[in-house]
Amino acid sequence: MVAEQLAARGIRSEAVLSAMGWIPRERFVPPGQQSSAYGDGALPIDCLQTISQPYMVARMTELLGLTREHRVLEIGTGSGYQTAILACLGRHVYSIEWHLKLLTLAAARLEALGLRNITLRCGDGSLGWPEQAPFNAILVTAGAPVVPSALTEQLAVGGRLVIPVGPVGDQTLVLVRRTEGGLKTEDILKCRFVKLVGAAGWRE
Ligand code: SAH
């Protein structure tokens, strides 16, 4: 997976490649799906959600430019796989999931891997986590109608937000940077994610 799907397609960060080589993806897919765990695609998980494609996880993580000093916010814990990768690279990861069932499963997997620098919460991540802001990096792993203003407000200066934006079937992965002079937005690639729900998301 690391060589053929990630390095061969242009993922350059050694830190991202080694985190993805270290975290066992088969522990994050549903029972019976272990043989597909290293395939080149998203897979269905509970609550009609998906575990993202490995390449997309790598690309989004690389775009965040994480260091060991960074406080990270993730919206959409899902299986917890992306959370584990972020925890390998950042100082602390705060992750919010809408579905309690998914959060409970993810918490057990992350605990079993011994990852301690993670705080999980069940709720609406479209509003961010104001009590823990500002964040150096924010990653949204579900597609939003527009970039939620609560999230850009919770970005530290120098911070980066990566988020899929647009209607299902026509989403663009967007990188937003907060600089001293304001926000800079860049379109990265076309993508396909499940819907972000909640106050700044789509109706369920
Ligand atoms: N990174 C996850 C992706 C899961 S799919 C993985 O690879 O496993 C996206 C997740 O976002 C789903 O679990 C969905 O329930 C969650 N989600 C959608 N809207 C949300 C919201 N407003 N707040 C928190 N989580 C949300």
User: DSSP letter string over 104-142?
Assistant: HHHHHHHHHTT--SEEEEES-GGG--GGG--EEEEEE-S
Q: Which two tokens stand for residue 102?
A: 């998914």
The residues near 127 (Cβ < 8 Å, ≥ 6 apart) are: 148, 150, 198, 199, 200
164 cis-preceded (ω within 30 degrees of 0): no
Residue 99 CA, closest ligand 1 atom number: 15
Do residues 95 and 118 touch, judged by C-beta distance below 8 A? Answer: yes
Among 2, 49, 7, CA closest to 28: 49
- Give the residue whose CA is nearest to atom 18 of ligand 1: 196
Question: Is residue 102 within 6 Å of ligand 1 at its C-beta?
Answer: yes
- H-helix or E-strand spanning residue 81: helix 81-89
Do residues 1 and 25 touch, judged by C-beta distance below 8 A? Answer: yes
What are the tens digits of pLDDT across the range 10-33? 999 999 999 999 999 999 999 999
What separation in angstroms does the CA of 105 have from each of 23, 30, 62, 124, 148? 16, 10, 26, 18, 27
Do residues 100 and 163 touch, judged by C-beta distance below 8 A? Answer: no
Mean pLDDT score, 126-155: 98
pTM of the model: 0.98
Residue 83 CA, closest ligand 1 atom number: 1
CA of 33 to the centre of ligand 1 (A): 20
pLDDT, mean over the chain: 97
Q: Is residue 36 annotated as part of the catalytic site, yes or no?
A: no
Question: Is residue 201 within 6 Å of ligand 1 at its C-beta?
Answer: yes
pLDDT at position 109 is: 98
What are the tens digits of pLDDT across the range 63-112? 999 999 999 999 999 999 999 999 999 999 999 999 999 999 999 999 99
Class of domain 2-191: alpha beta
pLDDT reading at 204 higher than 90:
no
CA of 125 to the centre of ligand 1 (A): 9
Chain centroid to Cα 6, Å, comes to: 16
Mean pLDDT score, 53-71: 98
pLDDT reading at 171 higher than 90:
yes
CA of 113 to the centre of ligand 1 (A): 21
Burial of 19 (0-12, 13-18, 19+ CB in 10 A): buried
- The domain limits of the chain are 2-191
Of 13, 35, 52, 79, the active-site residue reads 52
